Amino acid sequence: MSRIGRNPVVVPAGVTATVDGQTVKMKGPKGELSFTCPEEIEVKKGAAGIEVKPRDETKKAQAMWGMARTQILNLADGVTKGYAHTLEIHGVGFRAALKGKDTLQLQIGFSHDVIHKIPPGVDVKVAGAKQEVIEVSGIDKQRVGQVAAEIRASRPPEPYQGKGIRYRGEYIHRKEGKKK
């Protein structure tokens, strides 16, 4: 039994939520998001908020129960507060630059620049005196996390000198180099 799924999702003030069949839509100050629940889950809007429960006692329905509730909670948080990831670039001569609104250009130690296309709905800012901080923000948690992960994957931090792109606050396990 899902302990998370039992709790209803409270709709914050200033947010309008509608349930149409399996689709939940939320509209708030930052924008509008929607999520379509799996067929194994029953969704309804109650007095306490949006409630989810499984239609039957199958293993798949139990697995989808908590996930569906968390996705709906992410909609509510996204349209009110939004989500953000901060990436740091470590390395001599490593830097980032924005080309237009939808292209991020990274100079990260390769013979060529690495270009990332920024999807709509995600904002990217480059900050820092040496252009070493990348801020990825938006209202869709999955999209923001995916863009941040793709940027990090272009040059993940290496364990010997720590050069590469990492999340702010991420711990890099360092290895000792060769010995004579």
Q: Percent of the chain at pLDDT above 90?
A: 87
The whole-chain average pLDDT of the chain stands at: 93
**pLDDT at residue 175 is higher than 70:** yes
Q: Is residue 7 part of a domain?
A: no
Find the CATH number of the domain harbouring 58: 3.90.930.12
Last residue of a domain, one of 56, 80, 104: 80
How many independent structural domains does the chain possess?
A: 2
Q: List Cα–Cα distances, 36 to 4, 29, 51, in angstroms.
A: 19, 21, 14
3-state secondary structure of 152: helix
Last residue of a domain, one of 59, 80, 101: 80
Per residue in 41-95, pLDDT (tens digit) is: 999 998 889 999 999 989 999 889 999 999 999 999 999 999 999 999 999 999 9
Based on the domain organization, do 69 and 145 belong to the same domain?
no
**What average pLDDT does range 122-145 have in this prediction?**
94
Based on the domain organization, do 56 and 89 belong to the same domain?
no
Q: What is the pLDDT of residue 2?
A: 66
Q: Residues, the chain, total?
A: 180
Q: Is residue 91 part of a domain?
A: yes
Single-letter code of the amino acid located at 139: I
Q: Is residue 33 part of a domain?
A: yes
Based on the domain organization, do 39 and 93 belong to the same domain?
no
Q: What is the pLDDT of residue 177?
A: 87
**What average pLDDT does range 140-166 have in this prediction?**
96
- Give the residue with greater pLDDT, 57 vs 144: 144
Per residue in 14-28, pLDDT (tens digit) is: 999 999 999 999 999
**pLDDT at residue 1 is higher than 80:** no
User: Domain limits at 145?
Assistant: 83-167
Closest C-alpha among 135, 126, 118, 128 to residue 96: 126
Q: Is residue 174 part of a domain?
A: no
Based on the domain organization, do 67 and 143 belong to the same domain?
no
Q: Is residue 8 part of a domain?
A: no
Q: Is residue 11 part of a domain?
A: no
